[in-house]
Amino acid sequence: MPKAVFLDRDGTIIKDVHYLKDPKDIELIDGVGHALHQIKNYGYLLFLHTNQSGISRGYYDWDDVHLCNKKILELYKLPSDLWDGVCIAPESPKDKVLGYRKPSNKFQLEMISKFNLIESECWMVGDKWIDVETGLNSKMNAALVRTGKKISNNLEILAKNNRIPVCDDLSSFTKEYIV
């Protein structure tokens, strides 16, 4: 049965640039390209799940997000078909029109069904607690990475109490839990 890693984008596979609109503003995180390559090589499906409320707020449009996602793969020298699925949630925290905004697990449940994934063999990795909630809501494993906004002491304690690993970055997560 297939296994998968679901990844947040901003703060997890690239540095968190507030309302990223222009591909030239993308900042890479060391080791991510290699980690993504390793995850695929170890037989995991890869999914991207990103909240992009800038769309509903009018700061940028769908094309801007797609261009940034494409540029990320180019900058990491990864194939354009790396992702087995991508979910861009355009809702702001106030509107739940489509229901894909994390911590919603709608995308995860759709991919679990589509690819016959075993939840216990899947991971949701991100830099915020909503990423962890998304994974837990889907009965997946979840992990935090420290490459986004600073993880507070309270969040560290919450993660520890819930047995959620906190890794320095995607590379260290991959070494510890994938390879």
Active-site residue set:
8, 10
d(CA 106, CA 87): 10
For residue 47, give both structure tokens.
């999914």
For residue 79, give both structure tokens.
């194939």
- Find out whether the peptide bond into 2 is cis, omega within 30 degrees of 0: no
d(CA 55, CA 45): 27
Q: Judging by beta carbons within 10 Å of its beta carbon (0-12, 13-18, 19+), is residue 98 exposed, middle or buried? A: middle
For residue 58, give both structure tokens.
């009018």
**Residues across the chain:** 179
d(CA 135, CA 105): 7
50 SS3 class? strand
